[in-house]
Amino acid sequence: MWLLLTPALLLAVMFKFIPLAEGIYYSFHKVTPYLGNTWVGLDNYAKVLGSSGFIDALGHTVILAGVQTAGSVIGGLLLALMLEGSSLGLWLTRTVVVLPVVTATAVIGEIWRIIYFPDADGFLNTILAWFHLGPFPFLDSPRTALISVAAVGIWAGAPYNMVIFLAGLAGIDRNLYEAAAVDGAGRWRRLWSIVIPSLRSSMVIVLTLAAIRALGIFTEVYVLTGGGPANSTTTWMTQVYTQGFDRSDVGVASAASILLLATTLTLTIIVRWLTARRSES
Amino acid sequence: MKGMGGPAPSRFDSALGWTAAPSSTVIRLVIAAVLLAVFGVPFLTVVSSAFSHTSDPTQLAVLPTDPTLDNFRAAGEWRLFTYLRNSLIIAGGGLLLQMTASVLAGYALSRRKFRGQALVMLLFLITMMLPEEVIAVPLSIVLGDLPLLGINLKGTVLAIILPVGIWGFSIMVMTEFMRDIPEEICEAARLDGLSEIGVLGRIVLPMCKPALGVITIFGFIMIWNQYLLPLIASDGPGSYTITVAIALLRDDPSGSTGLLAAGSVLALAPSLIVYLLLQSSLVRGITAGAGK
């Protein structure tokens, strides 16, 4: 029996748990290659929390996580409502809409960098010019970069949430709609009183997944802006990357990683606790 | 376009109460067209730009103008096909390893009750919930000097294949699915003299096709989506995967949009093929993953 579990356990220990344990260990040490590590207690944590780079990054991460989560959840719900149905046309549209889910984040980043080209000649700016808008600098100005990154996140995240919501919609008893119609309930009433309450469990799942994904956001930002311009889009993880790999400060980078892990875990536990309580009642 | 998928929808078929009435159909067609534009056009433009002869480095073509393969020829000179090969080896190897580990572990966890089972489940659940980014820094050190063995994996495909070989999601999907296979069937096979591995390979595995579909598409997307891992696992641009390597194209001033588009298409094509082949598994997987 244990023989069957060996490959999975071996890989998990080697590439997940040993790195995790080392990360915790480094977070309490000053790491110097070849000279050995010295115990510094909570110094690394104090450095993270006291560094303006991480404080700024925290702000950007919270904004990104908030905007992106709200946008992709609302967007996903709208997509699901609009694309619910069994006709071939809808199926084809759904197939196209789901494309961002299967596309590697780095590729999405490259595609959007081309679309966002900041000149009047750029693809999106050309389209906006038809409506007498723009040209916008998108990723090139500190004022628009963060929101442009969030827009890509919403574009890529909403289809994923759509699939979860579609499954939720499919589970609603059709007789409820019919009964509501008999009672004279209109379209909005039906949405508000039947559909939204029925989707509550899908909503909880989608919110947790989206928030956790947004907190650890790295690839999109790294590919789209590299944290620039003028550090206006640095997030917690891009800051960890800079700290750990460009500046080789393994201790501080590990402390920041552990803080991110603690936040994510807390968030997961809170949501699990809330959902568990609700399903009991 | 409408109605080919079955009977005309009644107004009790969907949350918004769409009907087969012409006005309703027109609204839906408009919505579908807008969504196709928002989600389809970015991909369409990149594909057409990859096949277009664009002199202007900023322009994207919605439809290919003056079709050419020049961009792909240029991509070849940038060794993009080598990077693509790296990526395919990693995706193939990683997926094979992940499936093997998950099938074996899922079988063990679903067939028998044993001491420590809950703990093992918990460990696998943690690998699913642990954000990859959190362990990036120590993982890069581990890859450079494997604990106990002292082997340096950096720059080899194994540095990516081995870490992506373990994923709690795949193990959970396999375990849950195998639980629903009746024990009597396995018992009968054992009585017929089949070994434990024989029962797994000949009886259980063929019944697991839907679950295998799910872990194939999700494992593939997960591996193909890796960015940070190939970045920290490489010992220089030579061992990059294609998703990481396309960034090299745009950082070079001599690279054109057409070239970058061609690179993106190469990085896009395999996931697109896997998606189209295993589309139904995708939906099953997203909802299974969401239930966890």
pLDDT in tens, A137-159: 889 888 899 999 999 999 999 99
- DSSP state, A14? I
Mean pLDDT across A24-34: 86
**B170 vs A280: which has the higher pLDDT:** B170
Which residue type is seen at A270? I
**A86 vs B27: which has the higher pLDDT:** B27
Residue A278 has a pLDDT of: 65
Residue B151 has a pLDDT of: 82
Cβ neighbours of A102 in B, within 8 Å: 217, 221, 271-272, 274-275, 282
Q: Is the pLDDT of residue B5 over 50?
A: no
Residue B290 has a pLDDT of: 61
* Most B CBs within 10 Å, among A73, A103, A248, to test the B interface: A103
The number of angstroms, rounded, from the C-alpha of B167 to the middle of its chain's C-alpha atoms is 12
Residue B61 has a pLDDT of: 63
Per-residue model confidence as pLDDT tens digits over B263-284: 999 999 999 999 999 988 888 8
Considering the entire predicted model, what is its pTM? Answer: 0.89
Residue A234 · residue A53 · CB < 8 Å? yes
Q: Is the pLDDT of residue B57 over 60?
A: no
Residue B48 has a pLDDT of: 85
Confidence band for A188, pLDDT divided at 50, 70 and 90: confident
Residue B8 has a pLDDT of: 64
A220 to chain B, closest Cα gap in Å: 10
Q: Is the pLDDT of residue B2 over 50?
A: no
A32 to chain B, closest Cα gap in Å: 13
Residue B237 has a pLDDT of: 82
Helix (H) or strand (E) holding A40: none
* Most A CBs within 10 Å, among B4, B14, B146, B281, to test the A interface: B14
* Most B CBs within 10 Å, among A87, A108, A162, A207, to test the B interface: A87
Poorest-pLDDT segment among A240-244, B112-116, B155-159? B112-116
Mean pLDDT across A194-223: 87
Confidence band for A215, pLDDT divided at 50, 70 and 90: confident
Residue B161 has a pLDDT of: 95
Cβ neighbours of B97 in A, within 8 Å: 7, 11
- Percent of the residues in chain B that have a pLDDT greater than 90, as a whole number: 38
Q: Is the pLDDT of residue A201 over 60?
A: yes
The number of angstroms, rounded, from the C-alpha of B164 to the middle of its chain's C-alpha atoms is 11
In total, the C-beta contacts within 8 angstroms joining chain A to chain B are 295
Residue B54 has a pLDDT of: 64
Per-residue model confidence as pLDDT tens digits over A103-133: 999 999 999 988 898 888 788 888 888 898 8
Mean pLDDT of chain B: 85
Poorest-pLDDT segment among A62-71, A162-171, A265-274? A265-274
Helix (H, G, I), strand (E, B) or coil at A29: strand
Cβ of residue B63 closer than 8 Å to a chain A Cβ: no
**B104 vs B45: which has the higher pLDDT:** B104
Cβ neighbours of B286 in A, within 8 Å: 101, 160, 163-164, 167
CA–CA dist B256, B254 (Å, integer):
6
Mean pLDDT across A89-116: 91
Q: Is the pLDDT of residue A26 over 60?
A: yes
Q: Is the pLDDT of residue A57 over 90?
A: yes
Structure tokens at B79: 């060794």
Per-residue model confidence as pLDDT tens digits over B108-142: 998 877 888 889 999 998 888 787 888 998 999 89
Residue B143 has a pLDDT of: 92
Mean pLDDT of chain A: 88
CA–CA dist A99, B276 (Å, integer):
10
Q: Is the pLDDT of residue B288 over 60?
A: yes
**DSSP line for chain B:** -TTTTSSPPPTTSSTT---SSHHHHHHHHHHHHHHHHHHHHHHHHHHHHHTS---STT---SS-SS--SHHHHHHHHTTHHHHHHHHHHHHHHHHHHHHHHHHHHHHHHHH---TTHHHHHHHHHHHHHS-GGGGHHHHHHHHHS-TTT----TTSTHHHHHHHT--HHHHHHHHHHHHTS-HHHHHHHHHTT--HHHIIIIIIHHHTHHHHHHHHHHHHHHHHT--HHHHHH-SSGGG--HHHHHHHHHHSTT--HHHHHHHHHHHHHHHHHHHHHTHHHHHHHHHHHHH-
Mean pLDDT across A216-240: 89
Q: Please judge whether A245 and B232 are an interchain contact, meaning their C-beta atoms are less than 8 angstroms apart.
A: yes
CA–CA dist A254, A27 (Å, integer):
5
Q: Is the pLDDT of residue B98 over 90?
A: yes
Residue B21 · residue B8 · CB < 8 Å? no
Phi, psi of A87 (to 5 degrees): -75, 160
- Nearest residue in chain B measured CA to CA from A192: B15
Q: Is the pLDDT of residue A221 over 70?
A: yes
**B5 vs B92: which has the higher pLDDT:** B92
Q: Please judge whether A20 and B138 are an interchain contact, meaning their C-beta atoms are less than 8 angstroms apart.
A: yes
Q: Please judge whether A8 and B28 are an interchain contact, meaning their C-beta atoms are less than 8 angstroms apart.
A: no
